[in-house]
Amino acid sequence: MNSGAGWWFIVQAIFISACGLDTFGLDQPTTAVGPTITTAGLTTTVDQTSTTNPTTSDTTKAPTNTTDVATETGTDATMTGATSSTTEVASSTTDPGTSTGPAPACGDGVMDAGEECDDGNQDDTDLCTSACKNAVCGDGFAQAGTEECDDDNQDDTDACTSACKNATCGDGFVGPGEACDDGNQVNVDACGNECAAVSCGDSIVQPGEECDDGNPDNTDTCLSTCKKAICGDTTVQAMVEACDDGNAVETDMCTTLCQLPKCGDGFIQISNKETCDDKVETKACDADCTAATCGDNVLNKTAGEVCDDGNLVDNDACTNLCNTNLQCAHSLCLSGVKLNAAACTYPGVNNDCATKVCAYDSFCCNNGWDSKCVEEAQISNLCPTGLNPTNFTCTCAHSYCAAGVALAATCDPCVKKICEVDPLCCSNTWDAGCVSKTVTVCKMPAAPNCK
């Protein structure tokens, strides 16, 4: 056998065995002569014949390879007994290079071309959506454990932000139900921590507000305008103010202290028939805020009144000088019996020497008015005259119980009072009228009790 032909026969036999073809004991297929292939001087003709599977009754024949071994060109040797090889092969209806499984699809658990992932399930809340796309914020699916929400838009003012977080007060976006959202927890700026626009009455003291008690009550310490309540704001503060007319007029029906006018408040309220208001009783102003006058039926002890019966009857229990009918026994400049301080005290300024001496030295009114009492009556710090000299001298040009030249008002307390009633007695002449006043004005018996 030619060595080349032998080699080829071996290759062909191996091929037939590998393909499962059997040249022995099978029906011989009809041979169709195929193309002739020449390799290294060896000519091979391949016949393809359709045949049926030997186990079936089909008349279709499976392809059969028939190889005619030709004489090697250029040699004399001829391959004997190997002129042809016919193999009947079982039929195959599918091209050997094509897969017979299902077509690729999203959800099959295999990541195919065009897919970002494929986890083989339809769960859109895990890392891979049912569309085989990687889960991301904005894909419309809330990824479990990572996203709070996902509404598939970039609108930060709805219930789900573009960061896939539920809208909340303080996230910096004005969401549903919010008037503002500045993203901070500062409660005294333009936007409160509840994401409500700040305003007077929200119980938070904002810049420009003096107070904010969160109510519309204008009678407490904070007005509805968020201003502190003060006198003059025209709003009556409960338990503090009696009135508030919003002006600075002291003499109307509401003072600048926001109190109703009354005697003793220091303001003359003409509407209340006040003619004076020294807050307390003075020699010039009675306690009822009227001018002090003997006969006004208001006892003014500060003015030297010991009584005031409101009439001009001089012989009743209270004289027209608002003294009782008690007599001043003698001049304060004479020693003698004890004196009644009230009887020897006269209305007006610096006419109360007897009262002051008895307060300083009670012996003078309880036991007797001795020479020491006379000396005390001449002390300017104790019994000032308010004139010049500033003390009583107890030295008169003549007895004031007798007519004569004009007397100096400072020579005796009784003379001072008579000259206040009738100034001519001290500037012109001390006549009989002046003498009579020792009884009517000074309540003093006639001589020799006058100085």
Mapped onto helix, strand or coil, the DSSP state of residue 66 is strand
Return the percentage of the chain with pLDDT > 90, whole number: 42
Other Cβ atoms closer than 10 A to 95? 6
Mapped onto helix, strand or coil, the DSSP state of residue 432 is helix
User: Bigger pLDDT: 189 or 284?
Assistant: 284
Q: What is the rounded CA–CA span in Å between residue 324 and residue 314? A: 10
Mapped onto helix, strand or coil, the DSSP state of residue 10 is helix
Q: Which of 227, 199, 187 is nearest to 211 (CA)?
A: 227
Q: Which of 88, 91, 97 is nearest to 16 (CA)?
A: 88
Q: What is the rounded CA–CA span in Å between residue 206 and residue 422? A: 74
pLDDT-based confidence at residue 53 (cuts at 50, 70, 90): very low
Q: Record the tokens describing residue 416, joined without a space.
A: 């001072």
As a whole number, mean pLDDT of residues 200-227 equals 91
Q: Record the tokens describing residue 399, joined without a space.
A: 């007895």
Q: What is the rounded CA–CA span in Å between residue 258 and residue 235? A: 10
pLDDT-based confidence at residue 36 (cuts at 50, 70, 90): very low
Return the percentage of the chain with pLDDT > 70, whole number: 75
pTM of the model: 0.34
**What pLDDT, on a 0 to 100 scale, did the predictor assign at position 186?**
80
Instruction: Examine the pLDDT at 1 and tell me if it is beyond 60.
Output: no
As a whole number, mean pLDDT of residues 172-195 equals 82
- What letters, b where the CB count within 10 A reaches 16 and e where it falls short, cover 146-155? ebeebeeeee
**What pLDDT, on a 0 to 100 scale, did the predictor assign at position 152?**
87
DSSP element (H, E) containing 47: strand 42-47
Average the pLDDT over each of 174-188, 221-235, 347-361, 387-401 and give the range with the smallest value. Answer: 174-188
pLDDT-based confidence at residue 236 (cuts at 50, 70, 90): very high
Instruction: Examine the pLDDT at 447 and tell me if it is beyond 90.
Output: no
Q: What is the pLDDT of residues 251-291, one digit of tens each?
A: 888 989 999 999 999 989 888 889 999 999 999 999 999 99
Q: What is the pLDDT of residues 387-417, one digit of tens each?
A: 999 999 999 999 999 999 999 999 999 999 9
Residue 54 CB contacts under 8 Å (≥ 6 apart), including other chains: 26, 27, 88
Q: What is the pLDDT of residues 288-305, one digit of tens each?
A: 999 999 999 999 999 888
**What pLDDT, on a 0 to 100 scale, did the predictor assign at position 449?**
66
Mapped onto helix, strand or coil, the DSSP state of residue 53 is coil
CB 399 within 8 A of CB 451: yes
User: Bigger pLDDT: 5 or 79?
Assistant: 5
**What pLDDT, on a 0 to 100 scale, did the predictor assign at position 14?**
58
Q: What is the rounded CA–CA span in Å between residue 99 and residue 116? A: 24
CA of 100: how far to CAs of 93, 94, 105, 379, 397, in Å? 11, 8, 15, 146, 162
Q: What is the rounded CA–CA span in Å between residue 344 and residue 327? A: 8
